[in-house]
Amino acid sequence: MIVVLLKEAVSLLFLMAGLFLWFWGSWPLLEVRPLLDRLHKLTVSDSLGSLLMLLGLLLRRPDWWPLYGLAMLGLMLWNTIFGYVVARGVHQSRLLNAKARELGDAS
């Protein structure tokens, strides 16, 4: 009985920590900071929050471990690749804007 209550408490703690990280990472989007700083905070906290939530659900339903494991792996890979793609796009956009300004000043 105590083991079940402890497992439920730890599961609930993981779920609440994940939800906290979701909100904590979303809040900087409202700040006036560079875009990449805001996106970095968002993606890191969103990834960690989602992983904590999946871990909390795994404690509640351990028989679903293949599904949760696949979701965790996909989440880690997707968020890493997505963060790289966004950063690369912003970098390319800045290079193009600088080149356009340079060409505009030269004529």
How far is it, in rounded angstroms, from Cα 39 to Cα 66? 30
What residues have CB less than 8 Å from 49, skipping those under 6 apart?
17, 18, 19, 20, 21, 22, 24, 25
Tokens of 10: 């730890």
Query: What type of residue is 107?
Result: S
Can you tell me the distance from the alpha carbon of 17 to that of 31, in angstroms, rounded to the nearest whole number? 22
What pLDDT, on a 0 to 100 scale, did the predictor assign at position 19? 95
DSSP, res 31: S
The per-residue pLDDT for 31 is: 83
pLDDT of residue 57: 93
Provide the pLDDT for residue 8: 93
Each residue's pLDDT tens digit in the chain (107 positions)? Answer: 888 899 999 999 999 999 999 999 888 878 888 877 888 888 888 889 999 999 999 999 999 999 888 999 988 888 878 877 877 887 788 788 878 788 876 55
Residue 3, pLDDT score: 87
Query: In angstroms, rounded to a whole number, what is the distance separating the alpha carbons of residues 61 and 57?
Result: 6
* CA–CA gap between residue 91 and residue 19 (Å, rounded): 31
Alpha helices, H only, the chain: 2-26, 35-60, 65-106
